[in-house]
Structure 1
């Protein structure tokens, strides 16, 4: 069963996204909802659609238990729906409640448990996605140029979640994950940008929207990709202030990137800039979305 706070938090995040979009909720044609905090039939998408006043004909998709790739995965599905349905406006919502769902009493078999749970938090985020912006009343922030998913072979048991007597029990494989990131992230990103003709070695020329996971994972990114200081500052700030909310975390980072760019006037007079949105999660799976921001 999903946690009851998922309903209001999901609806509140979605209502904010719709308000920022500037058009009526009834204009939403598709709804994608992602959560790793429980499951039921019908899904929380039905309740969220009702709370928002979406049309009964809205086409709904539920995504369950993608954990830290939940936000990026929801955006990928929303992108596909928008591009394959003319005039579609897709509301992608991701919400998770970790403080109650993932916390358990100390377990001698998993001594890393309390420390790992200390980085978790609760959150909800939402984005409106379309493929044919109307200049009169819509101002797209980013173009999602491509979206890819890659699973590293032999890692299926490193980051897992299972239903047990105490609810959802997570195995985080905490020490192994930063090493796994260091060994694989550059190859995954290079494969994602290669079809677009972007130089795989020019990582510092991009802006970054990265699901932080932990500070150790951020360290792995910076070392392997030789990133300049500050490239992942927003991801670190979101992790410090809100914790790892798993799925919604990358949407919090995206929102802060948008806010900073507006405040700093970035992109004005510069033409187009390229960036990467990255989420890493169970499987061990990487979701990569190539972004383009034009002035």
Structure 2
């Protein structure tokens, strides 16, 4: 019998610089005509995002990164090298803040494995090594870096932790997701990419996964892919940062996929949606949450944790799902839950979970 892996607790952290309204104002000035601006205003107003937080420093007069003296206050936006230098500095700081928030809930002694997910930066030695050294993990700790998987990378990271604990009941796995999406603002005058960029913020979340029966028990993982959808969600590495392509077709394609019983079964691990009492859906955007809710005929309010995270933080890529799970950990007991995230592919990945007995 394999032991059951559990998420004992989750610690989260965001920077203290709210850039949401400033970035909206900056993006609006990039639109070529008033008609596009009116559409932009309507869509931005419907995004259901109140705040997005950034590691980018304030400008010379305390303004946002797009104000005079800010990181993006120039005719030609910073190159990839400059953005990666800031990633190498800021990602460990934000990560350690999340780890300390986790440490305030559970003891982090005896860590045997360290799994890190991030798709918004590259550095070598990796941030897993940098963070491990800074928090004093033993050199013998086994590390795994999950890179460039996008929004469902939290599933891959927690799935890997589950496999580790099932193979070694004494393992104590520290799982970290850290994303600095605001490092990749693009000066693109097209409506769709501007709206896509205004979904994303920075955040980090850390979890402890062990065989100890506390927190959330991790069940069977699952994964599937929508056919002919590879181009709908894409990251392109350019000389001016990572250019995010998030097609406006994504919500409709997810809804159409979930309307297919076979895809819906694959995307929920074979569970009947009416019997699921805990939903942790990646808060990729209001329209994506609406599509999941409508296609699976979910009762209004069951995605409250996801919508709350979206409103307070925006889409933090891989860290987002962990923020949602953190909210569910603090709520009523869950007997049969589903964690579900969408990302490049267009793939749907997730796992079942329940409150520990």
Query: Do structure 1's residue 177 and structure 2's residue 250 form an aligned pair?
Result: yes
Q: CA deviation at 1:201?
A: 4.7
- Give the whole-Å Cα distance in 2 for the aligned partners of 1:121 and 1:49: 24
Residues 123 and 248, structure 1, Cα contact 8 Å, conserved in 2? yes
Residue in 1 that maps onto 2:274:
202
Residue in structure 2 matched with residue 190 of structure 1 by the alignment:
265
What residue is the counterpart of 2:188 in the other structure? Answer: 106
Secondary structure, in 3 states, of the residue corresponding to 2:164? helix
Q: Runs of 4+ in structure 1 displaced over 4 angstroms?
A: none
- Where does 1:207-218 land on structure 2 (aligned, <5 Å)? 207-218=278-289
Rg larger in structure: 2
CA RMSD of aligned residues (A): 1.7
Q: What SS class does the counterpart of residue 257 from structure 1 fall into? A: helix
Task: Answer yes or no: is the 8 Å Cα contact 1:37–1:98 preserved in 2.
Answer: yes
2:322 and 2:227 map into 1 onto residues whose CA distance is: 27
Aligned length: 269
How far the C-alpha of 1:224 sits from its partner, in A, is 0.9
**Matched residue of 2:220: which SS?**
strand
Shift of 1:72: 1.8
Match of 1:15 in 2: 100
Contact conserved, 2:336 with 2:353, CA < 8 A, in 1?
A: yes
CA–CA distance in structure 1, aligned partners of residues 301 and 159 of structure 2:
27
CA offsets per residue over residues 208-262 of structure 1, 9 Å max, x none? 0110101001111111111111100111111011010111011111111112x1x
Q: Distance in 2 between matches of 1:11 and 1:75?
A: 18
Counterpart of 1:280 in structure 2 is: 342
Determine whether 1:252 maps to 2:327: no
**Structure 2 unaligned runs (5+)?**
1-83
* TM-score, normalised via structure 1 length: 0.86
User: Which whole-Å deviations, capped at 9, do the CAs of 1:186-222 have from their partners, x for residues lacking one?
Assistant: 644423533xxx4x2525x421011010100111111
Query: Which of 203, 220, 224 is residue 150 of structure 1 equivalent to?
Result: 224
> 1:201–1:209: structure 2 CA closer, same or farther, 3 Å change rule?
closer
Gaps of 5+ in 1: 134-138
User: What is the distance in 2 between the residues matched to 1:258 and 1:201?
Assistant: 20
Matches within 5 A, 1:28-47: 28-47=111-130
- Shifted more, 43-52 versus 81-90: the winner is 81-90
Aligned to 1:221: 292
Q: Per-residue displacement from partner, 1:20-42 (whole Å, max 9, x unpaired)?
A: 22242xx1100000101111222
Work out which of the residue numbers 235, 256, 262 in structure 1 matches 2:306: 235
